[in-house]
Structure 1
Amino acid sequence: MSSSAGDTQAIEHLKEAIAAGKHWYLALLEAIKLWTSPEEDYKGRHYRYLIDNEAFDWLVLAERLCEEVDGLIPENELIALLFFDRPPIELTKDEFRELVGKAKYQAYLNYLYGVLVEQILLLAIAEEVRKRKRALGLVKDGGVIDEAYRRIYGATQQELIARFRKEKHYPKRKSMSLTEVNEFTYWLFKQRLKGSDKSCVASDTQKALVKLHHYMGLKNHKVS
């Protein structure tokens, strides 16, 4: 069961809108606008939709809501959305913002820049490190990730994870769940904003956006 009246309203709206003939994707975005819980436990799984009360992972909520209308959504369209972030209907940024609401849209942008773009930045820097090593005749990739972390954040991955968990009062574990990885990435993003000058932050972000556009070449909408 959902933990708030807003969540219940969101689920009811989704079911009723689809039953009335509205396209499931539009109904889903409207339901997302109504949803209120930042996280919940449902069917043995913990869902966290809002990271650090700021960054909204809307596809996790989309997955959760779509479970409520299982069988009513074309499987190929659902897979394309949840696994490849390819919606069945292309909307403008303004249309998307209107459907999910201004607050959730802003939180989505926080997630976009603070998690997705930050992950792409790390990949871009790691690629630069790897190319430089190969240019020097070093074919092994050992240490590439840690060097990328040092270049961006000034410490190794494990050192940063230890600091993150200490700050968040999380227990030490050998592995990280996807939820914790995303939270860690958002924490890294905020550390970078605090520890770098504005021009460096802007340059790194632009580098990551260029790489993100490359990875999302099949998509036509512009990230902003």
Structure 2
Amino acid sequence: MEDYAENYAEPALLPEIEEPVNDTEPDEWAQIIEPSGETAIAQAIPEGILHFRTMLSAGVPWHRALLEAMARWILPEETINGRQYRYLLLGEAFDWLLLAERLCSDVNGAIPAEETEKLLFSGKIPNTVDEEQFRDYLGPSKYRAYMNFRYGVVLEEALQLVSEEEVRKRHMSRSYADTEELIEESYNRLYGKPRRELLKTFQKETKKDRRRNLSLSDLKEFTYWLHKRRINLWDPARVASDTRKAIRRLELLEQGHTNKSSGPTLGKYPTAQSP
């Protein structure tokens, strides 16, 4: 299988994906006019939820109904009962499991609890859906945004873990204390600056209010922003090497889930090869 790390491209430059069989699925995201409040568009029942309910009532398998509902979803974010759901990070990365959580909570009890848990905590769906079918259900635009999330957030977090472990190992060999500076050093190795400086730059560029605490979605956007910075900062050989490290680390993390539950983990990466 082709090694993705060797041909790694910035998410915005991912190759075009073939059109799905059903080309009536909407691929565009609506614009939020008032993202800070529960707007009229957020208060109305989205088409995706109505479709999800209808399909489940008709006896359609829940995973198919869920993916079809995602294909029809157009809100990049919404606020429900005081909680903000941001599904499209920085306009490019689709947090599909957050949308899955939103949809599943709307039909509480309609999906077996064990299968819901596997989906939301491990990204696993029944074996009847493979990666190609998953892509076709979502449509090209959302699938590309989904892959941006996989590589720009999930894999980037694995790379950050690798860097932190490498720095900690070196510190231990020199009998250094395990302090917060370890994190700053690991970020400096990956992104050229300490985390605190990078965070300030991110907040300034994205116009985040520095007086409030970062939400989980803010942190995911920060990770995606760091991913794009790293791609632009280093040469392709360095990027490919780091990507292989992250893939290997993520595979180790996912092995435990694979042994405990059935069903495919979507967005699997090609087996990492040695540099």
Tell whether the structures are fold-level matches, with TM greater than 0.5. Answer: yes
For these two proteins, the number of residue pairs brought into alignment is: 223
Q: How far 1:200 sits from its partner (Å)?
A: 0.8
- The one-character-per-residue Cα deviations of 1:138-192 (angstroms, maximum 9, x if unpaired) are 3534422111001001111111101111111222147421011001111101111
Partner residue, 1:16: 54
Which of 142, 150, 154 is equivalent to 1:104?
142
Q: 2:181 matched to 1:143?
A: yes
RMSD: 2.1
Cα deviation, residue 223, structure 1 = 2.4
Aligned to 1:159: 197
Return the alpha-carbon distance in structure 2 between the equivalents of residues 142 and 180 of structure 1. Answer: 21
- 1:78 maps to 116
Tell me the equivalent position of 1:223. 269
Q: 1:142 to 1:3 in 2, by over 3 A?
A: closer
Structure 1 gaps, min length 5: none
Distance 1:7 1:125 in 2: 44
Greater Cα shift, 118-127 or 130-139: 130-139
1-side partners of 2:128 and 2:163: how far apart?
A: 31
Equivalent residues in 2 for 1:15-94 (5 A)? 15-89=53-127, 91-94=129-132
Q: Identify, as 1 or 2, the structure richer in helix.
A: 1
**TM-score of the aligned structures, taking structure 1 as reference length:** 0.92
Secondary structure of the equivalent of 1:216? Answer: helix
> Which runs of 5 or more structure 2 residues have no equivalent in the other structure?
1-38, 259-263, 271-275
Per the alignment, do residues 62 and 211 of structure 1 end up closer, same or farther by CA in structure 2, a change over 3 Å counting? same
Distance 1:109 1:121 in 2: 16
Q: TM-score, normalised by structure 2?
A: 0.75
Tell me what 2:6 maps to: none
138-147 vs 75-84, which moves further: 138-147
- What corresponds to 1:202 in structure 2? 240
Q: Distance in 2 between matches of 1:140 and 1:182?
A: 25
Counterparts in 2 of 1:90 and 1:154: CA distance versus 1, 3 Å? farther
